[in-house]
Amino acid sequence: MAEDRQSFDYVVVGSGSAGSIVASRLSEDGRYSVCIVEAGGSDRSIWLKIPVGYARSYYDPAVNWMYRTEPEAELGGRRIYAPRGKVRGGSGAINAMIFVRGAASDFDDWRAAGSPGWGFDDVLPVFKRLERHAGGASAHHGDRGPIGVTPMRGETHPVCDAFLDACAELQLPATPDFNGASIEGAGIYDVNTRRGLRSSSGAEYLRPALGRANVEILDHARAARVVLDSERRATGVEILRGGKRIVVEARREVIVCAGAVDTPKLLQLSGIGDGAALAGLGIAVRHDLPAVGRNLQDHLCASLYYRSKVPTLNGDFSGLLGQARLALRYLLTRKGPFAMSVNQAGGFFRGRPSEPRENIQLYFNPLSYRIPDDPGAGLKAEPYPGFLLAFNACRPTSRGTVTIASPDIEAAPEIRPNYLTTQTDRDEAIQGSRLARRIMDMPALRAITAEEMPPSAGASSDDELLAYFRENCGSIYHLCGSAGMGPDASTSVVDARLRVHGVDALRIVDASIFPTITAGNINAPTMMVAEKGAAMILEDARADRRPRPVAAR
């Protein structure tokens, strides 16, 4: 196979939610050249711009790796679907766009676990820097950042009001803003959209950056390994593209932003990971770092389905005429269901009063639909007016792994989340079920509910609720933690400045560095990690005054 060489100051592997931001920030003053290595292709498809289009990308191999876990013992041996973006913008180009930062205590936990500079007071200014909030600047929000953040309040389906009223009847707290003073309570979610279009980091950071003379993207390129010299310094990335083997050299640093699945995969292919396991696969061990691929975390979710006495989005989405009306409204106003997520209302609650903080997240969805196992079937609304109430634990304690099974870069890694392997997680599955049922039993929701539908209907005891959860739960696609941040190289992969322990000029900047999963959807904190990580890289570059020429494009 022919080999070619190119040279840049920084090589960024992955143009997803994190990589797009890192590449943009490193290149924006023109001082440094940046090469982005992306396995997917363009994000120009209209379905990646219209918010409702994420239903089209859910099973689309052109933009989605469509991973599955290994059989999960606690889930009856089921293999759980784990979609990952394979396109410019990564998973942020195909997700459901819910914008939740996480609880302040989540980041204080990061700092307390040995990562200085990552407490909530440290990261709040970073969150504000990345967002352009529709409500303007405030103590909690920024209005000049690239990512549009749009509250769905005032635009949601009327049945969402019944959910909020039911929470009030149950005397649960309410919050006007999950990204405001407190995450706890019932409310309406924000989405990362702007003027009715998806506002991802690929669109808002990467696309403008690609117009700069000092930025180049190599798409449809598979990263094969990080190249290390004899002193264990990252000097570049070997990629396969168009039948050629190319070494993209990095004069300053290699930054891996490939996500919670492909980042540990790339490190392991490069000989960085558990030395005994790598040697057993015939991979030359360059650095024995056992935590690579460990500490994998995810939110595991299940839904309760209900037949409604009043119209829901099922009627509009199940027929061509209804879809046409929604499409026309969207084209004329950039508003309506096509401009939003179907996950509209919800909240963060304590599954029982004794819990020290919110530990259950709920989604109230005015559209009830099933996710088929057959990728060719597509997502379809239930054939009746319905809604669903979904729930997951905020901070599951089960820990899994991502490991390669062979040196073949084309082979998918083995993903083992080890769901429900702790008693805490099993208890919280029951807590979430019972909390959802208590809310559904309030007058506001009883008034619009005809009946609970299978598969949850009929489950009432703790054993029955847990059995229902085991048989019907799925990932909510928040994989993180597989190259965790921490001070100890035996239990973590990167330090507080996101530098890989024991390897010079190599950093990881993506969701894999989360020490512990945050409450809520993780796209917003992943973008925060990228903003903060890019700032650290530039700070260290300014401290390093050695002259290094900029490569010509």
Cα 434 from Cα 299, distance rounded (Å): 18
Partners of residue 273 on adjacent β-strands: 288
> H/E element holding 251?
strand 244-256
Percent of the chain topping pLDDT 70 = 97
Active site residues: 478
Pairing of strands 360-365, 386-393: antiparallel
Interval 243-273: pLDDT, tens: 999 999 999 999 999 999 999 999 999 999 9
* Site of tokens 């690609």: 210
**What pLDDT digit, counting tens, does each position of 336-366 carry?**
999 999 899 999 999 999 999 999 999 999 9
pLDDT at 114 over 50: yes
Q: For 313-327, how does the pLDDT look when each residue is reduced to its tens digit (9 = 90+)?
A: 999 888 888 889 999
- Quote the pLDDT of residue 544: 82
Q: What is the largest CA-CA distance in the chain?
A: 72
Angle between helix 120-130 and helix 523-543 axes, rounded to 10 deg: 100
Which stretches within 36-143 are classed as H helix? 54-57, 104-112, 120-130
**Which distant-in-sequence residues (6+ apart) come within 8 Å of 550 by Cβ?**
9, 31, 32, 33, 214
Q: What angle do CA 484, 400, 67 make, to 5 degrees?
A: 100
Nearest to 298 by CA among 103, 14, 68, 521: 521
Bridge partners of 504, per DSSP, are 233
In angstroms, the CA 225 to CA 237 distance is 6
CB 409 within 8 A of CB 398: no
- Residue 381 phi, psi dihedral angles, 5° rounding: -70, 150
What is the C-alpha separation between 284 and 545, in angstroms, rounded? 34
**What DSSP state is assigned to residue 277?**
H
The rounded mean pLDDT for the chain is 95
Phi-psi bin for 174: left (phi > 0), alpha (psi -120 to 50), beta? beta
For residue 374, the model assigns a pLDDT of 76
**More confidently predicted of 380 and 437:** 437
In the prediction, which pLDDT does 552 show?
37
Could you report the per-residue pLDDT of 480-506, keeping only the tens digit for each?
999 999 999 999 999 999 999 999 999
| Contact in structure between 174 and 212 (CB atoms under 8 Å) | no
Confidence check: pLDDT of 164 > 80:
yes
Asked if residue 383 has a cis previous peptide bond (ω within 30° of 0), the answer is: no
Cross-strand bridge partners of residue 7: 249
Buried b (16+ CB within 10 A) or exposed e, 415-445: bbbbbbbeeebbbbbbbbbbbbbebbebebb
Range 95-107 average pLDDT: 98
What is the predicted pLDDT for the residue at 349?
Answer: 98
Residues 6+ apart with CB under 8 A from 316: 322, 323, 325, 326, 337
Which domains does the chain show, CATH number per domain? Answer: 153-188+300-393+420-472 (3.30.410.40)
Over residues 179-199, mean pLDDT:
97
Q: Give the pLDDT confidence score for residue 377 in this predicted structure.
A: 67
In one-letter notation, the amino acid at residue 95 is: N
Which of helix, strand or coil describes residue 496?
coil
Q: Would the pLDDT of 149 be above 90?
A: yes
Q: If 0-12 CB within 10 Å is exposed, 13-18 middle and 19+ buried, where does residue 518 land? A: buried
pTM above 0.85, yes or no: yes
Instruction: Give how far the C-alpha of residue 60 lies from the chain's centroid of Cα atoms, to the nearest Å.
Output: 18
Whole-Å CA distances, 532 to 39, 344, 509, 548: 24, 29, 9, 24
Measure the CA dihedral 46/97/264/487, to 10°: 150
d(CA 404, CA 414): 6
The string of DSSP codes covering 393-445 is ESS----BEEE-SSS-TTSPPEEE--TT-SHHHHHHHHHHHHHHHHHHTSHHH
For residue range 389-429, list pLDDT tens digits in order: 999 999 999 999 999 999 999 999 999 999 999 999 999 99
- pLDDT surpassing 60 at residue 547: no
What angle (nearest 5°) sits at the alpha carbon of residue 509, between those of residues 105 and 177?
Answer: 35
The helix (H) or strand (E) run that includes residue 464 is helix 462-472
